Amino acid sequence: MAALKHIFNELHYEMTRKLAEGGMGVVYEAVQLGAGNFRKVVAVKLIREEYSAIEEFQRNFIGEARLVADLIHTNIVQTYHLGQIGGQYFMVMEYVRGVNLEQFLEQHRKLGKRIPVDLAAFIVSRVARGLTYAHMKCDRDGRHLNIVHRDIGPKNVLVALEGDVKLTDFGIAKALDLMHNEEGKVIAGKDEYLSPEQATYAITDARADLFPLGIMITELLLGKNIFRSTDRAQSRRNILTMPIPQFSTLRSDVNPKLEAIIQRALQRDREKRYQSAHDMLTDIEIYLYSDGYGPTNEKLGVYIKDLFGVRDPIIPSLSSRPPPCDLR
């Protein structure tokens, strides 16, 4: 870490602490330094040293950076820069003060609380909003990029203390000419958040991101992933064959409108599922706002600060792949 700090200091980044590690990357908190005492807190994602010499990992890391650099949207974590030091690639990313949805769920379990239905739906609507943008993205020549995130799940959704919801980690995304892709040979994604297409090694399109979005809203409502098993293969079998329950029987304040949205998102036949993130977003927003005032970023921000007991405005921040929450 000392050698790393020295190298990054020369690049005008002051490394402060390791935030998370997993997969092929390690994420650090850093302060970007500039003229006139300019200081900006950022997250630096560094490809692991043991993977940096493997061409496939390099291609994916570079591909992720190139992809996300042009995904400029309030519901997607921003990437500012791709660099290289000593043969290792790194990305400089937006630093989000808040928690990921896994931590959000865990805090509710710890306190014995249920997530309010409207806030659960609001969070998922913001992810759908980010996906709508990503799925429709074209390159500079007007070619549709055909982006599929392929790793939608609570760890990859951040909720800032101000209430902003942001999708992150496009490391295993599928996109035109950008990402190394062995679809059909390997399963990309986490077993308990796969679409049926992913679980059966089928070629995916944007609709594959909507089934796990359906899983995520049910997890926020029930406090658990109904497909998760201790055995990975069983999780995949559950995705493919487990009867989908009526969620209003599991939580009485799930009304028929929300039930219909969930059931459509969890259609195993993708032709019967939502055909776009925009369609799903539209239905959720009609559900949330058709009767008048509904949830906002500000309402979610107040809720999350109260949930974690945040009183001090100077609090620890979490990056695109945050560690266990230490807010207090």
**Residue positions annotated with a catalytic role:** 151
Residues 105 and 226: their CA atoms lie apart, in Å, by: 14
Q: Which residues of 224-245 are buried (b: 16+ CB within 10 A; e: fewer)?
A: ebbbbeeeeeebbebbeeeeee
DSSP state of 322: -
Residues 165 and 23: their CA atoms lie apart, in Å, by: 23
Of all helices (H) and strands (E), which one includes residue 21?
Answer: strand 13-22
Q: What's phi and psi for 113, nearest 5 deg? A: -110, 155
Q: What's phi and psi for 72, nearest 5 deg? A: -105, 100
Q: What's phi and psi for 257, nearest 5 deg? A: -65, -45
And the tokens for 259? 């039930």
Q: What's phi and psi for 303, nearest 5 deg? A: -65, -45
Chain position carrying tokens 């695109």: 320
Backbone Cα Rg of the chain: 20
Contact in structure between 191 and 219 (CB atoms under 8 Å): no
Q: Which amino acid is at 215?
A: I
Strand, coil or helix: what is 73? coil
